Structure 1
Amino acid sequence: MPRFAHIFEAAADTLNAYYQAVAEVNIESLMGLWIDEEFVTCICADGSHLHGLDNIRAGLAAQLQATPVSIEPLDIRVYDSLGTVVYAIAEAHRPANPAATPSMVFTTYVMVHERGEWRIAHIHASAMPNETATQFAAKMRHGQGPLH
């Protein structure tokens, strides 16, 4: 019996490509992952709101060049429906400087299926409060999983 690829697996490929582009500070690759619409939005963990492709490009370029990071997903929740996938992820944003402390961030990615490809339509990141980050890390260390 033939094996068919699941349509939502490709959305994970887009998310992985986003993480890779961030780690490489590759703004062209990063922007190639967004839907080609001016309604796109990005709310960054520092509280800045970026609206539209040009504003997102400039804002992310400035942030990543000032403070390069790699993103490690720690807990991923996926909600999918026809044409839309939402990822709710607890992430560690690790600075390029290995001596620096990672930032713990809750991020939601909204992806839409457009012309056969999964594209980012919205990102909303929020810094995890210190107390929550400490509890999250303790549960991860004890193998309980982050949300038990």
Structure 2
Amino acid sequence: MPRFARLFEAAADTLNAYYQAIADNSLDSIMSLWIDEEFATCICADGTHLHGLEHIRAGLAKQLEANAVTIEPLDIRVYDSLGTVVYAIAEAHQPANPVDTPRMIFTTYVMVHERGEWRIAHIHASEMPMETAGQFAVKMRHGQGPLH
């Protein structure tokens, strides 16, 4: 069983590398984490649907240019099976410009094990409604966690 534990920890390494690449505003680093297949998809928090690596690259380039952010995962749920890991995460997106308002985002990452490495196959992000974000923040401040 320890072999599988390490296998799934490696998926977390890919997720952490994604967060770092976003913080570094490095499109090449972000794209190096995606599966090498045209079925890759990304649904952005603004509702934009990106299908295929070329469209994902172009869409993320636009977003990085317009809105540099740092992502802080606040609550992480992990669902894993052999060959696939799904992360359901409540995230705080902190803009690089301090005058811009931070956003709370629900993001699902689907990762697949490909040729010995974990790669992103799909991302689905949705902005939290203001009321939900406020309730989430209050629960986190009181140490209750988001689901209590």
Q: Which bracket does the TM-score occupy, shorter chain normalised?
A: over 0.9
Classify the secondary structure of the residue corresponding to 2:132.
Answer: helix
Which residue identity is paired with 2:59?
Answer: G
Confirm whether residue 87 of structure 1 aligns to residue 87 of structure 2.
yes
- Residue 64 (structure 1) aligns with: 64
- Residue 14 (structure 2) aligns with: 14
Displacement of 1:97? 1.4
Deviations 1:69-115 (A, max 9, x none): 00000000000000000000000000001232210000000000000
- Residue 74 (structure 1) aligns with: 74
**Identity, % of aligned pairs?**
79
Structure 1 residues 1-148: aligned runs within 5 Å: 6-148=6-148
- Unaligned ranges ≥5, structure 1: none
Classify the secondary structure of the residue corresponding to 1:59.
Answer: helix
- Of Structure 1 and Structure 2, the greater helix share is in 2
- Unaligned ranges ≥5, structure 2: none
TM-score by length of 2: 0.96
Which residue identity is paired with 2:63?
Answer: Q
**Moved beyond 6 Å, runs of 4+:** none
Q: State the alpha-carbon separation in 2 of the partners of residues 99 and 140 from structure 1.
A: 24
Q: State the alpha-carbon separation in 2 of the partners of residues 24 and 147 from structure 1.
A: 31
Q: State the alpha-carbon separation in 2 of the partners of residues 54 and 99 from structure 1.
A: 32
Displacement of 1:15? 0.1
TM-score by length of 1: 0.96
Q: State the alpha-carbon separation in 1 of the partners of residues 33 and 6 from structure 2.
A: 20
Q: State the alpha-carbon separation in 2 of the partners of residues 136 and 23 from structure 1.
A: 23
Deviations 1:16-56 (A, max 9, x none): 00000011110001000000000000000000000000000
